[in-house]
Amino acid sequence: MAGKKVLIVYAHQEPKSFNGSLKRVAVEELSKQGCTVTVSDLYAMDFEPRATRKDITGAVSNPEVFSYAVEVYEAYKQRSLSSDIIEEQKKVQEADLVIFQFPLYWFSVPAILKGWMDRVLCQGFAFDFPEIYDSGLLKGKLALLSLTTGSTAEMYSKAGISGDFRYFLWPLQHGTLHFCGFQVLNPQISFAPEFVSEAERKAMVTSWAQRLQNIWQEEPIQCTSPWYFGQ
């Protein structure tokens, strides 16, 4: 799919990690297709995860009582957000597909990636009321979570101790990505890579590469509660 643009938001501390391998093979496969691939390596960038007054470069509307959401919304409209936020928003705006590559932490994303979502996907840029969910401002773009877990697939089944893996996807896929208008593709979950053989890890990486060969033909999921809780 020559001409397509992909942003990979990558959140792992170690380049030689399994997550690093998944990120590298995604860059290689998508580049081979003729896609333009940009990587936001959050740890390497030392990305600031904290949402603070520093995110606004101009004057705030209410210096007496600081409301981050209100002030960032105004700063977006006034083009007075901090440069690191603006840079990431440009990457998202240009992308046809955004892939999030990360290890699952406490049924969620690492703090640095949560901070990226908190700061980059602000009101005015990613959503505005009533422009949310199917009408979110990032509609027409695809998003995909590629993640690793510390527990086995059996543990993330309905009968497993951790419950169905779709449960922890609800706030990430529906409450964040779909809320902003993204069309969400099925997640790529690599279960417990630390506890399988080298051959099995290689098979996981190969499976991801093979999926990416046909990623542009995939249909988004029906990102509504039955997909997560009605199976």
Helix/strand/coil percent split, the chain, to 5: 45, 15, 40
| Sign of torsion over alpha carbons 221, 224, 226, 227 | positive
Which CATH number goes with the domain that contains 175?
Answer: 3.40.50.360
Give the total number of structural domains in the chain: 1
CA trace torsion 86, 88, 89, 90 (10° rounding): 90
pLDDT for position 230: 86
Pairing of strands 97-103, 142-148: parallel
pLDDT for position 229: 94
pLDDT for position 231: 60
pLDDT for position 2: 76
Indicate the pTM of the whole model.
Answer: 0.96
Averaged pLDDT in 10-residue chunks for the chain of 231 residues: 92 97 98 97 98 96 95 97 98 98 98 98 98 98 98 94 96 98 98 93 97 97 93 60
194-200's contacts with Cβ under 8 Å and 24+ in sequence apart are: 194/18, 194/150, 195/152
> Residue 81 is part of which domain span?
5-229
pLDDT for position 164: 95
Residue 115: phi and psi, rounded to 5, are -65, -35
